[in-house]
Amino acid sequence: MKKSTRVYSIEEIILFENEEIIAINKPSGISSLAERDATRLSIHEMAVRYVPTAILCHRLDKFTSGVMLIAKHEAAYRNITLKFQKREVKKYYLTLIEGQHTLKDQLMDYGIYSQNGKVRLDNANGKRAITIFNTREIFRHYTLLEASPITGRMHQIRLHLLAAGMPVVGDKLYNGKDVFLSFFKRNYKFDSLHDERPLNDGFLLHAARIELALPGSETPAILEAPLSPGFNVVVKVLRKWDSG
């Protein structure tokens, strides 16, 4: 898997900031919390360098990019986490799956069981998890989906798509396959001394939009993040070589 060597700072990825919160566009490949033997700073470590009292309001998987909320102090953290608990926060993700799929407000309701950092689909013993899926763009061999999780279970979108037989592209943990340019371009040539690298860098899941009333306001704010560079490259390739 390709790895970026660029070191980010919170200042580089801020989407919105006020006295209460920071909203960032989290890059793919950076962990939310510190990892053992990590060679780069986590989002939390960067946040406390920027604001020493910063607290993550939620987490995104290491290879999930997009909107992430960081509270600047304890009161703002409590305010936002309470909104998450009451399901007053609307979340919208974009993801890519193999095949052509036309989904309109498709509700997936599968239980997810979590223990010691490992998760699995389990209706009998797991907690209820609900996601709504809508097709956003169809290519010849792939589909761009919007996913709106109603609950917030670990790996929820990825597991629900696995259950439906539509794993996220590049998600090796849950049977997702990589995208290669040679699949689309006839006579595509690459360095014969090395294996062709996939277009995707990890799995393709992006937190595109969050809607919530920010602390001190009753009016919902819409916080949006453009696609990560890697995800955007894949979409551009599909529009050029896999459309029609």
Angstrom distance (rounded) from CA 66 to CA 168: 16
DSSP H or E run through 98: strand 90-98
Angstrom distance (rounded) from CA 202 to CA 98: 15
Q: Is 191 an active-site residue? A: no
Report the residue count for the chain.
Answer: 244
Name the active-site residue from 61, 171, 178, 201: 61
Place of tokens 């529009």: 239
8 A C-beta contact, residue 198 and residue 179: yes
8 A C-beta contact, residue 206 and residue 231: yes
8 A C-beta contact, residue 16 and residue 22: yes
Helices and strands of the chain, counted as H and E runs = 4, 12
Residues marked as catalytic: 61
